[in-house]
Structure 1
């Protein structure tokens, strides 16, 4: 019997990645206030004397908030998967750029350099007969960027793609030409780490192949 999976993300890349391995999830996008989630995480870290949250913790907190929001708001009857991604580059954290100018400035900082793409994954077992467990982990992959010219940066931004994705780049789309190599999980850079997802659902007592339609 197929175990239903619900993707709490509007990312086409995440949906495509799951479909590529035979998983056809339902999709519901959460209305989580990401700034509020990060502010609460930062406050907790300061109260505990832990300093500033690192990017791996930040994306995990956002992924958890998304999954738990959907599980709380809807009777999903499924395993709910929340995800979030950020690029870490020389101590700076980059999510989706809000404007073309921000994307341009980011690529001017990124070109010829190396960053780490962090993708948080959180699962909530919201099945009536499931374990009702809740757990997650972060996939972190090193990404090497090509040394783009200003004209190349402008041409890429003109496509609109960089404005839609964390870190202002893709590895599976138009941005693939500007990534010279990765160290780690390719799918984690795309948006959902399949090996990590397999490990997490296994911990919930579900075989990965049972997610396939």
Structure 2
């Protein structure tokens, strides 16, 4: 939306509980200027505790679990009257859950499994209504998109991993960055693969009694405020 068409400020403030530049850019491109507050959630510990309590989790449930943990952590520490959105993405391949690779060797191994095949990118979204005059809603859902990967050579895989990009993103790839050349097709919401499904967010807002254009506009945190 052109800046001239945006309201000067949004009626409702949205806090994004994520440091992801891609998620922030996705919201900004849709006219939503979020405040950025990064959660302190220990993801490995959160998943381990859930496994101990509930047993095996489906990949989509892992994404939703972490999204909820992030949203609730930030809501508990925030002093801003706002809606808090937590997101988390994982790649499902052969029924296994894959987040960010631990090191370059793991990224190379994973891409050797992924090349020429398809996986499902799950992004959990959790919304907490932390407004002073809000209803206190807390709700979430997971969006899932099938991603088809190109058949890369070993040299291409090693060169891509050497850029460092696969080490900082869920699934070891991007569709909106250097990895875009290696994604041949997607089935589902493109923005979900980037890390945040705008259609799903709109639905969650509606379930919380908030219209989409209630969060459009406004001025959020600058890049210098995110550290």
TM-score, structure 2 normalization: 0.90
SS at the partner of 1:19?
A: helix
Map of 1:88 onto structure 2: 92
Out of 85, 105, 123, the residue aligned to residue 101 of structure 1 is: 105
Residue 142 (1) aligns with residue 126 (2)? no
Does the CA contact (< 8 Å) of 2:125 and 2:142 recur in 1? yes
Q: Which residue of 1 aligns with 2:24?
A: 15
Separation in 2, partners of 1:92, 1:127 = 37
Q: Name the residue aligned to 1:2.
A: 11
Match of 1:49 in 2: none
Q: CA deviation at 1:39?
A: 1.4
* Equivalences for residues 109-120 of structure 1 within 5 A: 109-120=113-124
1:102-136 deviation line (CA, Å, top 9, x unaligned): 11111011000110000000000001011110000
Matched, 1:125 2:129: yes
Helix, strand or coil for the counterpart of 1:88? strand
Matched residues in 2 for 1:104 and 1:77: separation?
44
**Unaligned 5+ runs, structure 1:** 47-51
- Alignment size in residue pairs: 208
Q: Deviations over 1:134-185 (max 9, x none)?
A: 0000001000000000111111112111111000000011101100101011
- 1:188 and 2:167 are equivalent in the alignment: no
Q: How many Å apart are 1:2 and its aligned residue?
A: 2.0
Corresponding residue for residue 26 of structure 1: 35
Matched, 1:61 2:65: yes
C-alpha displacement of 1:207: 0.5
Corresponding residue of 2:157: 153
Q: Which runs of 4+ in 1 moved over 3 A?
A: none
